[in-house]
Amino acid sequence: MQKPLDRRSFLKSSLAAGTALALPLPAFAAEDTLNVALIVPSPAADVGWSHTLLAGAKALEEFGPGVKITLLENIAEGPDADRIMNKTVADGNTFIILGSFGYMNGGLKLAKAHPEIAVLHASGYQVAPNFSPFGARYYQGTYLMGMAAAALSKTKKLGCVGAFAIPELITSINAWTLGAQAVDPSIDVSVVWVNSWFDPASEQEAAKALLAQGVDVIFSNAQDTPSVITVAEEAGAYVFNLNSSMKAYAPKKYLGVVGTDWSPYFKANARAHLDGTFAGAAAWLSMADKVVYVADLNPDIPADVAARMAEVQAATLAGTLSPFTGPISGQDGTEKVAAGVTLGDDMILSMDWHVQGVTTPLPK
């Protein structure tokens, strides 16, 4: 974004550079160096959760050659992670990104012991002056995917392979269902909980179980490998997932990705950390923050629905539309959200009920 140099500004800047070289100001040097450590629970492969965090952290390299990023992958939650966190700080890293909920308590202790560092922590809830939890509003994207799924489903049965029945996953399934009902009110959604964050074989069997019930669009909810994607492609069912695109694994039937791009958030916080203005705060990042996005949409989506999706996306970006605006009924038909009322963040963050249209009872 720099203007082309004319002779005068060139002279000015070279003069400034000369002065800077002659009188190295410590503040100037400090701005150039930032040691970032990223700790993630799984290997940072070409796809998946850890991959998106690494891509976001790598965006910090735009700050200049003084930015050094250390990736610590496949770190099990628990005492081992605490030890590694302490070591990264001892090694001189001051901007720490923790990629798993289970790093929370260790990370918080670390932040309290080292006020000079800044810690960003994925999917937690604890806040300290130098410790910020962050998460993504996946539901904004899954609502759009629900519209696409309803338009493409012939059996009018959608299915979701879920990891654990926790609010983050429940909200994304509910928004998906509501999006589908916005296009076709007769849509049914079945959910199979694998009860594991990581078991590709069971995830595949869960997808096959859904397909056997006549499901023809699948939501791979929080699987870090293309397990569900490959099964759906083989069976000829549309499929989408979260975080990073897996289109390569399902060239024909890939419905799209509800992706996350952490770089705007990481950059803003790294800048604040460098400027000394970092303040711990919970961030639930949205489409408007340019963190959540929808991409790689399948060309099979009918043009009229695609146009409606674009409208919804624009309204979501403008903040005038929330999937969780009433009237919304629960599974048993009772009114959960009154007409015209929009659920607040705290209600969405603690959601433990399914909307009407989800046929699988929610485990309590």
Residues 260 and 52: beta-carbon distance below 8 Å: yes
Is residue 220 within the footprint of another protein (CB under 8 A)? no
Is residue 55 within the footprint of another protein (CB under 8 A)? no
Sign of CA dihedral 77, 79, 80, 81: positive
Looking at 16-24, 83-91, 123-131, 218-226, which segment touches another protein (CB under 8 A)?
218-226
Q: Please, which residue, 55 or 317, has the CB nearer to another protein?
A: 55
Question: Could you tell me the CA-to-CA distances from 326 to 186, 202, 248, 336 in Å, in that order?
Answer: 18, 36, 38, 8
Copy the structure tokens of residue 33. 């160096």
Site for another protein in 293-322 (CB under 8 A): none
Q: Please, which residue, 51 or 336, has the CB nearer to another protein?
A: 51
Is residue 212 within the footprint of another protein (CB under 8 A)? yes
Is residue 245 within the footprint of another protein (CB under 8 A)? no
Is residue 230 within the footprint of another protein (CB under 8 A)? yes
CA terminus-to-terminus distance, the chain: 54
Residue choice 191, 217, 237, 242 for contact with another protein (CB under 8 A)? 191
Is residue 205 within the footprint of another protein (CB under 8 A)? yes
Site for another protein in 102-161 (CB under 8 A): 159
Count Cα atoms within 13 angstroms, Cβ side, for 333. 0
Is residue 224 within the footprint of another protein (CB under 8 A)? yes
Instruction: Identify the helix (H) or strand (E) that includes residue 243.
Output: strand 238-243
Q: What's the closest the beta carbon of residue 252 comes to another protein, in angstroms? A: 15
Q: Please, which residue, 126 or 359, has the CB nearer to another protein?
A: 359
| DSSP structural state of residue 325 | B
Residue choice 52, 94, 153, 204 for contact with another protein (CB under 8 A)? 204
Listed as own residue / partner, the contacts of 229-232 with beta carbons closer than 8 Å and 24 or more positions apart are 229/254, 230/204, 231/204, 231/207, 232/207
CA dist 132 and 127 (Å) reads 5
Is residue 33 within the footprint of another protein (CB under 8 A)? no
Q: Which residues bind another protein (CB under 8 A)?
A: 42-43, 45-48, 74, 159, 165, 190-196, 198-202, 204-206, 208-215, 224-227, 230, 249, 359-361, 363-364
